[in-house]
A and B are shown apart, each in its own frame.
Chain A
Amino acid sequence: MLTMNNVSKIYQTNSVQTHALRDFSLTVNEGEFIAVTGPSGSGKTTFLNIAGLLEPFTSGQYTLDGVDIGGLSDNQTADLRNQKIGYIFQGFNLIPDLNLYENVEVPLRYRGIAAKERKIRIEQCLEQVGLASRAKHLPQQLSGGQQQRVAIARALAGKPRFLLADEPTGNLDSLMARQVMELLEEINKNGATIVMVTHDAELARRAPRNIQVVDGQLADFTLYQGKPTLAATRDNETVVASGV
């Protein structure tokens, strides 16, 4: 589904170079649910942005669903984002002027789906997150948890094969967070591949696979065989932080 080989990302400002990702390599298989953890500033979000085609990488190779991302035009990456990827953000990122129905409709419009089909999908997705009755409400009329559910509905509406979630429960209380997590687990069971960045160790533990990013590098025994510096074992998988 997703393969990154030695992907690096360098931010250049005047004379300062910041290595956000260094030789980052990772393979995510179809149907996986991966939790990405790591300290603040370690490069988790940069990884997620590159994985979601939201920003370009400096070097390396990235293949998404068989498509080599390097060298794609803006329109091609926009199409790929629209058709294959769904996003859930920490801050929900709902468009305040649009009601719930219209917010969920946004990616479908860019995909050129007909109005009738859009309506069916939107109603299904809002039903799935339990907000069908509030389709005409504006985002600010909802609680944080409800807004995040709308964001999930929006991400699901395009029937993406790849769902990226950046701290999806970061702005929610524990009860809301649990509900959102349950929703993501259900979505994963239905076949979507999910990569979730989180600071919440408890939530991370619920994901079948955990990886940790430290200093822009993946802490994974497959990369650092023979010289692990930190390891944790859970559910038959070993995740290693390099400590670089």
Chain B
Amino acid sequence: MFLHYIDLSWRSIKRTPVISFLMVFAIAIGIGLTMTSLSVYHMMSMDPIPHKSGNIFYPQLNIMDDGNEWHSSDNLPYQLTYQDAINLYNADIPVLKSPSFRSGFSVHLNSPEVKPTMEPARLVNREFFTIFDRPFVYGAPWSRDSQDTHEYVVVISEKINDRLFAGKNSVGQHIYLDNNSYRIVGVSANWEHHVKYYDVNNGAFNVAEQLYIPFSIAPLEEIGTWGNMNGWKHENSKGYQGLLASERVWIQFWAQLNTMQEKQQFGDYLISYMDDQREKGRFNREVLEFKLRNVTEWLEYNKVVSEDNRILVGLSFMFLLVCVSNILGLLLAKFLKRAPEVGVRRALGASKRHIFAQHIVEVSVIGLAGGLLGIAIAQLGLWGVRVTNSYYGALANMDVSMLLTAPIIALTASFLAGIYPAWLVCRTQPAIYLKSQ
């Protein structure tokens, strides 16, 4: 019977092509707009590393003396000082952890044939690659020895490898970052993240860095940050060494804590560390405070998905509702015009349920067609977002879940629009129309 209803729907659509097209178009516009905003929102809010987002933690320490305030919701700085980051990394706790910060270099081969380019880089420790499951096309992260001996090694992205080495295995080759030669130890796969969750301080939707070098090289080369740096008190520190010893925060830090016990131990360590630092003259505060947030908590805390985005999604759904109400009117006109035919069907044995099902299937066919056209319109909308705002480029895409969601929303919307007209027409008293036809 279902296939028969589909057949009847198709005939009905062909019989009233203009009104049918209007309904399909109304749903398509509504779905197009809704899916555009919903896709961006979905990409923004989706878990970037779902298999372990609950096990990767970002520590925050309240470094300020009593009486000082930070501009965060819980009075905690968003980043760590260099000295805290180093101390936490060197702590004797058997978990994966890594400090990091964003910088950038002029990348070249010290040859006039290849034009230098400016590329963003990240200074990390080797554990960073394991914590964030970074796959390698060639090679591997640098060794602990290389890191401890301040060896000038680099992991380059696939993109840079393609540009400088035509995609061939470049492990063992050297490239220049500014004026220093670095030995390539690995080529990591391009990092196509939607949200740069490991460093939201420096633009949550920025593209991933193309170079990774050991964190230990930073003090040697006095590598500056390309990110935010904040302080809470006046300091007379001068030069790079002064920065490293200062209370200014500019380092991100991640630790992989696989169990509640590991998290508890790490938290206990943070308290004892702050207590120890207090004895050395830092952390002059009565109550020592810290926070360990996992990836999803961290993104929420940083309001990566802003209220504006939520409002936009809400508005687009309201627009869809307007479309639905228009379709409802058109469906009422269309279905009630068909009441005489329904009267005949009822006389021939159709129950109200049959008539209702027939019309709901027709509405669903219209909804599905609108949904598919809506996906095309949404693609156009997302293309518009990509073209006009490169910062949101990676977000303006529809993944499979959104492609599947679009027809579901379209079907739901059309069902909402059609339920009343279908109910009304299924209550047709056959006797009224049989004589008058």
> Which residues of A pack against B, CB within 8 Å?
45, 49, 52, 54-55, 74-75, 78-79, 81-83, 87, 89-91, 93, 95, 97, 106-107, 109-112, 154, 158, 166
Which of A45, A81, A89 meets B349, CB within 8 Å?
A81
Asked whether, in the complex, the Cβ of B431 is within 8 Å of the Cβ of A110, the reply is no
| Residues in B whose Cβ lies below 8 Å from that of A49 | 431, 434
Asked whether, in the complex, the Cβ of A97 is within 8 Å of the Cβ of B11, the reply is yes
**Given A91-B437, A110-B350, A97-B345 contact (CB < 8 Å):** no
- Kindly state whether residue B412 has any CB partner on chain A within 8 Å: no
Asked whether, in the complex, the Cβ of A87 is within 8 Å of the Cβ of B431, the reply is no
| Residues in B whose Cβ lies below 8 Å from that of A52 | 347
Asked whether, in the complex, the Cβ of A158 is within 8 Å of the Cβ of B434, the reply is no
Nearest CB in chain A to that of B437: its residue: A91
Asked whether, in the complex, the Cβ of B354 is within 8 Å of the Cβ of A110, the reply is yes
CB distance from A102 to the nearest CB of B (A): 9
- Kindly state whether residue B325 has any CB partner on chain A within 8 Å: no
**Given A52-B347, A54-B347, A109-B4 contact (CB < 8 Å):** yes
Asked whether, in the complex, the Cβ of B349 is within 8 Å of the Cβ of A83, the reply is yes
Asked whether, in the complex, the Cβ of A82 is within 8 Å of the Cβ of B348, the reply is yes
Residue among B11, B15, B340, B349 having the largest count of chain A Cβ atoms under 10 Å: B349
Bound CA–CA A166/B433 (angstroms): 13
Bound CA–CA A55/B434 (angstroms): 12
Which of A89, A95, A154 meets B434, CB within 8 Å?
A89
Asked whether, in the complex, the Cβ of A110 is within 8 Å of the Cβ of B435, the reply is no
| Residues in A whose Cβ lies below 8 Å from that of B343 | 93
| Residues in B whose Cβ lies below 8 Å from that of A79 | 349, 351
| Residues in A whose Cβ lies below 8 Å from that of B353 | 75
Asked whether, in the complex, the Cβ of B430 is within 8 Å of the Cβ of A107, the reply is no
**Given A55-B431, A97-B11, A106-B348 contact (CB < 8 Å):** yes
| Residues in A whose Cβ lies below 8 Å from that of B346 | 54, 78
Bound CA–CA A155/B352 (angstroms): 20
- Kindly state whether residue B341 has any CB partner on chain A within 8 Å: yes
Bound CA–CA A207/B171 (angstroms): 103
Nearest CB in chain B to that of A94: its residue: B344
| Residues in B whose Cβ lies below 8 Å from that of A154 | 348
CB distance from B260 to the nearest CB of A (A): 57
- Kindly state whether residue B220 has any CB partner on chain A within 8 Å: no
- Kindly state whether residue B83 has any CB partner on chain A within 8 Å: no
CB distance from B159 to the nearest CB of A (A): 59
- Kindly state whether residue B429 has any CB partner on chain A within 8 Å: yes
CB distance from B17 to the nearest CB of A (A): 13
Nearest CB in chain B to that of A157: its residue: B348
**4 closest cross-chain pairs (CB), A and B:** A82-B349, A78-B351, A110-B349, A54-B431
Bound CA–CA A214/B32 (angstroms): 63
Nearest CB in chain A to that of B345: its residue: A106
Bound CA–CA A158/B348 (angstroms): 9
Asked whether, in the complex, the Cβ of A158 is within 8 Å of the Cβ of B349, the reply is yes
Given contacts A49-B431, A87-B347, A97-B12, 6 further A-B contacts (CB under 8 A): A54-B346, A54-B434, A55-B430, A83-B349, A93-B340, A106-B344
Digitize B345-385: 1 where CB-to-A-CB distance is under 8 Å, 0 elsewhere. Answer: 11111111110000000000000000000000000000000
Nearest CB in chain A to that of B353: its residue: A75
| Residues in A whose Cβ lies below 8 Å from that of B344 | 93, 95, 106
| Residues in B whose Cβ lies below 8 Å from that of A87 | 347-348, 434
Nearest CB in chain A to that of B15: its residue: A97
**Given A79-B349, A158-B349, A54-B435 contact (CB < 8 Å):** no
Asked whether, in the complex, the Cβ of A78 is within 8 Å of the Cβ of B349, the reply is yes
- Kindly state whether residue B400 has any CB partner on chain A within 8 Å: no
- Kindly state whether residue B18 has any CB partner on chain A within 8 Å: no
